[in-house]
Amino acid sequence: MNTNIKFKKANAFRISQEKLRNKALSKGVNLVAPETIFLNKDTVFGKNVTVEPYVVFGPKVKIGDNSYIKSFSHIEGTTIEKNVIIGPYARLREGTILKSYTKIGNFVETKKTSINSKSKVNHLSYIGDTIIGKNANIGAGTITCNFNGIKKFKTNISDNVFVGSNSSLIAPVKLERNSVVGAGSVITKNVKRNSLGISRPIQIGVKNYKRKNKKK
């Protein structure tokens, strides 16, 4: 492709983005630094939506009223209901559904996942092929291990579940209502209602331990 063709394509893209941004602004969307935000022709905004700089919208994204999307987030194939907070640095992939008053924090990736009202995934997590109920809290560093190299499996997290930080949920697995997963656990079996699931090596202490020094 020669330079002239590349220039024409880049210019056409710039013009189309300006039109999409102006359309969104005219409908009351608060685009902070709009020249840094990239929209798709089918992006749908509700009322009183705010989008911070450097957000990219892929195809098939719907954003509900009063939602707030923070900087450097990438969103595609996602339905976002009312009063949702996303980012910064969130990646929402196809098949993600966020119900009202949910929160997706920094460096969280979701795919084929439904998260119900008032649930939170705040930090550094991968949530794929998962259903999360209401009022659940997913701790920092939680991973749903949904792929065994051949087939993908589902994780079901019920209402009012608390998952401690740095936990791995090996699908298929279910965390029943009001259950708790202890931080640092690798969960391979269902956790029953009102129960604690914990899988963690026992910590030992070695007295008078001396570190080995590198030979000079």
**Total-model pTM:** 0.92
Write the pLDDT tens digit of every residue in 69-92: 999 999 999 999 999 999 999 999
pLDDT value of residue 5: 87
* The pLDDT of residue 203: 87
User: 153-167, 174-188, 199-213: lowest mean pLDDT where?
Assistant: 199-213
Residue 8 pLDDT > 70, yes or no?
yes
Determine the pLDDT at residue 1: 57
Q: Average pLDDT over the chain, rounded to whole?
A: 96
List strand residue ranges (DSSP E) for 87-193, in order. Answer: 91-92, 96-98, 103-106, 109-115, 120-123, 126-132, 137-138, 143-145, 155-157, 162-163, 168-170, 173-175, 180-181, 186-187
Check residue 35 and give its pLDDT: 97
Of 10-24, 117-131, 199-213, the one with minimum mean pLDDT is: 199-213
Sequence-distant (6+) residues with CB within 8 A of 203 are none
Asked if 137 contacts 120 with a C-beta cutoff of 8 angstroms, the reply is: yes
Q: Which of 123, 134, 154, 177 is catalytic?
A: 123
Give all domains of the chain, ordered by start, each with its CATH number.
3-197 (2.160.10.10)
Q: Let me know if 123 is a catalytic residue.
A: yes
Contacts of 22 (CB under 8 A, 6+ apart): none
**How much of the chain exceeds pLDDT 70, in percent?**
99
Q: pLDDT of 177-196, one tens digit each?
A: 999 999 999 999 999 999 99
Q: What is the mean pLDDT of residues 31-49?
A: 98
Q: Which of 117, 119, 118, 132 is nearest to 173 (CA)?
A: 132
